[in-house]
Structure 1
Amino acid sequence: MWVAVLVATVVAVVVATVALVTVRPWTEEFRHGGLTIAAPPAPVKPFPQLNPASASAPEPSRQGLADALSHVATSPDLGNFAGSISDPDTRATLWSADPDKPMIPASTLKVMTTAAALLVLPPDHRLTTRVVAGSAPGEVVLVGAGDPTLTAQADGKGYYPDGPKLSDLVAQIRAAGHPVDTVVVDTSLYSGPTSPAGWDPADIAGGSWAPIEPVMIDGGRLDPLVEYSPRSATPALDAGRRLALELGADPAKVRLGKAAPGAAELAHVESAQLRDRLRDMMIHSDDVLAETIGREIAAATGGEQSFAGAASATLTALKAAGFDTAGVTQIDNSGLSTDDRVPARLLDRIIAESAASAQPGGADPGGTAAPSVVDTGDTAAVASPLAPLLDYLPVAGGTGSLAVRFVDGGPERSGAGWVRAKTGTLSVSSALAGYVLDRDGRVMTFALMSNDRPPEASRPALDAVATTLRNCGCS
């Protein structure tokens, strides 16, 4: 009370007289230096650890889950909705809504790409970009191998962590003593169009994708340090032009061509390992990486490195592992095409198998046989070959495409840190496919797909369903 009066009086005096007021310490402790400031606390030392989910956690019941989801799963904001929720320990489907209906998956299709890559490629697989001697004196050929992660940044730190450096190619060419006045770019590894049906060309300037060519710098980004930087419409030629510039050749003379068989190699650089590129693709939903990895899948299985060849190879790998791909129409490997169609059942089943062990789970009580992606000849529990997929999923409220979701003050905040899922967003589709640990300590996998609603409405509705699973003690 007295402080309020004093402040009011000081203000009144200042206003009335424009006098200089000296503010003095409020207490004797301040006046005589009696106030002490405690030493800062010792820094907290984190102890990161991985703990398995409880083996004795109760299994959610179908009825308990249905009751918990009765309101959030019927929200009008979900629009045309399909979903599937499973228990990976038993491989049982616990809840579903139109799980076989083909839906626009958006970027959740990358779950299929990742699974197929893990099934047919070693996790340490790398791509080698080469420069070879051309057919004319002073000519070199940049041979694309499917790696879009090269960087021309002076410090070598481009958009992609551990991306190979253009400067290393330049240094090797100079060390070889090969004079250069012309650079040719060989993109013959890939065939067919550089973009498929259902991709919006406006998204090149919007920063979502660049034409899919087998050599790029920073995924075709014009600004290599900005995720959604506008992209180049000619990324392979741009890579050749930058190489020419660094070698002192004329960038205007760069053209497309083909390396001669057996041409002498002058330089080469290697991509990051597949496991690292898959993680980047999933965490940041990188469409260009998804398409180039799709072509790696095609190459590993003897297919054509094109949109059609990559899609076919992906589905073939999943079918060979025992997954039911009925209802799938796959145009690309990123989910960018509005013509893609995937049932929620398949996405949920892939993630459930990723979370399952090799211990035989038997037939799904709902009637779906467990896919045979693992060798069950040994009765000991062994991680699924798809298990790395779980580590590639964004964390709600923490990483990648989920970093800014589950963070507002609403009830969805309780899902932060617990939900891990691949997102999917187009103007006509939102989806979420991943897993969560419920309140009882049980893992549940899910695929939730909404079509025909704008993302600003459907994404919060999907997040509410995932959060309900986290808060569920539905046994």
Structure 2
Amino acid sequence: MGGRPVEPPLTKLILDSSYFGGETWHASWAPTERELGYMPKITALMVDGDRDDPYANTSRRGADAVGRAGDAFAAELGGVAAIERGTAPAGATELGRVWSPTVAQLIDKSLVVSDNTVAEMLARQVAITVGTGNTFEAIDPAVRQALETYGIARGGIRVVDGSGLSPDNAVPPAYLTRLFAKVEAREGSLGVIRDGLPVAGQRGSLSYADRFAGENAVADGSVFAKTGWIDTGYTLAGIIHAQDGTTLTFAISALGDVSQITADAKVAIDTLATGFYRCGDELSNE
């Protein structure tokens, strides 16, 4: 009787992470970012952001993302006797394919819960797409090239990673306020960012119990902004639909050693943003 030919069992895995190049950890990142669960080593092959707990946004990351990905594949396939690292040969048969979420969905995730891994991957994809390379060094020229299409002078900008974890990043507040004006206007593809922003008291990292609480809750639903934090600074930048109907853009930075005063810095920033909300057109005309 005829039938489908029997496929030989898979006995060896070759792990190819060559889509990204260069270092897997930026020299300026604090090692604690991996230990506390905010960032893995950046490779083109990893599973669940290399989290110890794949169901948690914040979970300790491993020391060998590629190796752990290989172990996960081997466990699912069964019968794998050898795992090696290399590159796929030209013309290799494709055995399967999984599509990622859309870029819009990935941007939303990176914004709403401050997913550093997704943000880093998106920056690397931008660099690959515009042709500047596939390493950390390729990100700055790629981002500059992409931002040029929105017509904002970019003097003084330095973007060394996609996540913002590096203290070597430098983006002037005035640049951010001009960019957020274009985000609010949904210029080009920026509407995707507008839709993904956390919202005070309602969505994402601005809906947590320690944000816009107490008297600052008056601004709930009216502040649409991205949070940021490293040991040397706490930030908030975005858009405010003010009490009097005025639309404002803003950028606030608390700089210095904020590692021990995070709660105070967040409350102070929220209070200032709430002040902007209350002032509205009065503030914008000063």
How high is the TM-score relative to the length of structure 1? Answer: 0.55
1:255 matched to 2:84? The reply is yes
Compared with structure 1, are the counterparts of its residues 473 and 331 closer, same or farther at alpha carbon in structure 2 (3 Å cutoff)? closer
Q: CA deviation at 1:384?
A: 4.3
State how far apart, in whole Å, the 2-side matches of 1:325 and 1:249 are. Answer: 54
1:194–1:212: 8 Å Cα contact kept in structure 2? yes
Where do residues 39-438 of structure 1 align in structure 2 (5 Å cutoff)? 177-250=7-80, 253-356=82-185, 384-404=188-208, 405-409=210-214, 411-438=215-242
Compared with structure 1, are the counterparts of its residues 240 and 352 closer, same or farther at alpha carbon in structure 2 (3 Å cutoff)? same
Q: CA deviation at 1:197?
A: 2.3
Q: Any idea what SS the aligned residue of 1:254 has? A: strand
Alpha-carbon RMSD across the aligned residues, in angstroms, is 1.8
State how far apart, in whole Å, the 2-side matches of 1:180 and 1:441 are. Answer: 63
Cα deviation per residue 1:128-169 (whole Å; 9 max; x = unaligned)?
Answer: xxxxxxxxxxxxxxxxxxxxxxxxxxxxxxxxxxxxxxxxxx
1:197–1:331: 8 Å Cα contact kept in structure 2? no
1:331–1:337: 8 Å Cα contact kept in structure 2? yes
Percent identity reads 32
State how far apart, in whole Å, the 1-side matches of 2:204 and 2:84 are. Answer: 37
State how far apart, in whole Å, the 2-side matches of 1:176 and 1:277 are. Answer: 39
The structure, 1 or 2, with the larger RCO (C-alpha pairs under 8 Å, 6+ apart) is 1
Indicate the structure (1 or 2) with the bigger Cα radius of gyration. 1
Is there any run of 5+ residues in structure 1 with no aligned partner, and where? 1-174, 358-382
State how far apart, in whole Å, the 2-side matches of 1:310 and 1:177 are. Answer: 43
1:311–1:331: 8 Å Cα contact kept in structure 2? yes
2:211–2:266: 8 Å Cα contact kept in structure 1? no
Q: CA deviation at 1:230?
A: 0.7
Q: CA deviation at 1:250?
A: 4.1
1:183–1:241: 8 Å Cα contact kept in structure 2? no
1:422–1:432: 8 Å Cα contact kept in structure 2? yes
Structure with greater helix percent: 2
State how far apart, in whole Å, the 2-side matches of 1:244 and 1:473 are. Answer: 58
State how far apart, in whole Å, the 2-side matches of 1:447 and 1:271 are. Answer: 32
1:421–1:432: 8 Å Cα contact kept in structure 2? yes
Q: CA deviation at 1:249?
A: 3.0
User: How many residues in Structure 1 have an aligned counterpart in Structure 2?
Assistant: 274
Compared with structure 1, are the counterparts of its residues 349 and 179 closer, same or farther at alpha carbon in structure 2 (3 Å cutoff)? same
Q: Any idea what SS the aligned residue of 1:326 has? A: coil
Q: CA deviation at 1:473?
A: 4.4
Is there any run of 5+ residues in structure 2 with no aligned partner, and where? none
How high is the TM-score relative to the length of structure 2? Answer: 0.90
Cα deviation per residue 1:228-273 (whole Å; 9 max; x = unaligned)?
Answer: 111122112211111111111347x322111101111111111011
